[in-house]
A and B are shown apart, each in its own frame.
Chain A
Amino acid sequence: MNCDEFENLGLDLNQSGADAEQRAAALDHLRHCSHCAGLVESWEEARAELFLLGDATREAQTPLRVEMRLRQEFRAQRRPSVFYRRTALVAAWSLAVVTLVAGAWNWESWRHQQPKKPAITPVATNGTQQVAAPNDVLLADSDTSAFIPLPGTIPIESGDASVMQVRMQRGALSALGLPVDQEHVSDWIRVDLLVAEDGVPQAVRLHQATTQEGTSQ
Chain B
Amino acid sequence: MRISTDERDDVLLRRAARGEEDAFTCLYKRHQAALYRYALRMTGSAWSAEEIVQEVFMTLIREPKKYNAERGAVGAFLFGITRNRVLKHLERRPREFSIEDASPNGSYYREPVDPVTPAVWAEQRERVAQIRDAVLSLPEEFREAVVLCELEELSYEEAARLSSCPIGTIRSRLHRGRALLLAKLELLRQTPRRATANG
Contact = CB atoms under 8 A, between A and B. Distances in A.
B145 to A, nearest CB: 11
Mostly, the A contact residues are: helix
B131 A53 contact: yes
Contacts of B41: 53, 57
Contacts of A54: 150-153
B53 interface: yes
Given A50-B151, A71-B21, A73-B58, A59 B110 contact: yes
A15 interface: yes
B21 A39 contact: no
B181 A46 contact: yes
A164 to B, nearest CB: 75
Contacts of B54: 62, 66, 69-70
A70 B57 contact: yes
Contacts of A59: 110
Contacts of A53: 41, 128, 131-132, 135, 151
Contacts of B105: 63-65
B142 interface: no
Contact of A63 (B37, B103, B112, B153): B103
Contacts of B111: 56
Contact of B113 (A55, A70, A75, A77): A55
A67 interface: yes
A60 interface: yes
Contacts, number: 131
Contact of B110 (A56, A74, A75, A82): A56
Nearest to A54: B151
Interface of B: 16, 19, 21, 24-25, 28-29, 32-33, 35-37, 40-41, 49-50, 53-54, 57-58, 61-62, 103-105, 107-113, 124, 127-128, 130-132, 135, 146, 149-153, 156, 171, 174-175, 178-179, 181-182, 185-186
Interface of A: 7-8, 10-12, 15, 17, 39, 42-43, 46-47, 49-50, 52-67, 69-71, 73-75, 77-78, 81-82
23 contacts: A7-B175, A10-B174, A11-B175, A42-B182, A46-B185, A50-B131, A52-B128, A54-B153, A55-B113, A56-B128, A57-B41, A57-B108, A57-B151, A58-B37, A60-B37, A60-B49, A62-B33, A63-B50, A66-B32, A66-B54, A67-B28, A70-B28, A71-B24
